[in-house]
Amino acid sequence: MIRLSKNKSALLGAAILLLFTIASVFAPLLATHPINEMNYGESLAGPSSSHFLGTDEFGRDLFSRILYGGRVSLLMGLVVVSIAGTVGVLLGVIAGYFRKIDIFIMQCVDVLLALPSLLLAIVIVAILGVGLTNAMIAVAIAVIPSFVRVVRGSVLSVRESEYVEAARALGVKNHKIIFKHILPNIASPIIILATLEFGSAILAAASLSFLGLGAQPPNPEWGALVYVGKSFLSQAWWMTVFPGLCIMLVVLGFNLLGDGLRDALDPRLKL
């Protein structure tokens, strides 16, 4: 924590994420208008004292919709990383510790890695159907290979350690070795990867919504807001710029924090 607190970039990333998290959690208190309240008399109105970030084509307050959109986007990132992390860590540990299953698991992972993650997510959504839930599942499946490769590599290096060999010699069962000796010693790369993938998951989910495959109107998700705003870019630039800026800042925050955690937790960088 001391090394992390001295990293200005990591602190900046943490501050950005804290700001957006607080804004999303307290969105009902901070929102100035109901998110679906239409006022055609104020449609495509620019930023003003009554509408801080302007309005959309239906006269809905963009500031309020972005606040609630942050809830959806951050929740999507959390769900994606939780699913991908759980499945990826499990498969990575099995592949790294049980060498007989390793080849089969890694061949499946290589097949998934043969496609770019966004393209893979699009294919999965095309199979499952359009929607917010299916978009989260698709992005999670696309992210799983990253966790499997990192965890497998870490397990391969730890399983040959002397304390693991000693535990085997004493007759300790495999599941106890995994949970007591291996997982605690590979927690650092998992935490770092989860932080970095959180931002990537939000970006991928927003990309699916932008393509019309994720959150559907009137759901105020950031990617969906950018998708709607692109049709009015020449008339109302704020409809695209402000939600796009939110996506950029949140992804930047996770990347900065992830880099800071890597510098703080990687033992090779402490020397």
Q: Is residue 43 domain-resident?
A: no
Task: Give CA angle at 191 (205, 96), nearest 5°.
Answer: 100
Task: Give CA angle at 75 (60, 207), nearest 5°.
Answer: 70
User: Residue 203 maps to which CATH number?
Assistant: 1.10.3720.10
Q: Is residue 37 domain-resident?
A: no
Within its chain, how far is the Cα of 61 from the centroid?
26
pLDDT level of residue 170 (50, 70, 90 thresholds): confident
CA distances from 266 to 186, 262, 270 (A): 11, 6, 7
Q: Is residue 137 domain-resident?
A: yes
pLDDT above 50: residue 142: yes
pLDDT level of residue 2 (50, 70, 90 thresholds): low
Query: In the prediction, which pLDDT does 17 show?
Result: 95
Bridge partner residues of 55 (DSSP): 61
Per DSSP, the chain holds a count of helices (H) and strands (E) of 12, 0
Query: In the prediction, which pLDDT does 15 show?
Result: 95
122 is in which domain, residue-wise?
Answer: 9-29+52-269
Q: Is residue 40 domain-resident?
A: no
Distance separating alpha carbons of residues 76 and 211, to the nearest angstrom? 16
What are 253's two structure tokens?
């925050």
pLDDT above 90: residue 12: yes
Q: Is residue 113 domain-resident?
A: yes
Q: Is residue 80 domain-resident?
A: yes
Query: In the prediction, which pLDDT does 24 show?
Result: 93
144-163 tens-digit pLDDT: 999 999 999 999 888 888 88
Q: Is residue 170 domain-resident?
A: yes
pLDDT above 70: residue 267: no
Task: Give CA angle at 245 (230, 76), nearest 5°.
Answer: 90
CA distances from 267 to 3, 10, 26, 37, 270 (A): 12, 18, 38, 53, 5
64-93 tens-digit pLDDT: 999 999 999 999 999 999 999 999 999 999
pLDDT above 90: residue 60: yes
Q: Is residue 179 domain-resident?
A: yes
Share of the chain above pLDDT 70, in %: 96
Q: Which of 22, 36, 214 is nearest to 134 (CA)?
A: 214
What are 200's two structure tokens?
């990537």
Query: In the prediction, which pLDDT does 244 show?
Result: 94
Query: In the prediction, which pLDDT does 31 show?
Result: 92
Question: How many domains are contained in the chain?
Answer: 1
Query: In the prediction, which pLDDT does 271 show?
Result: 47
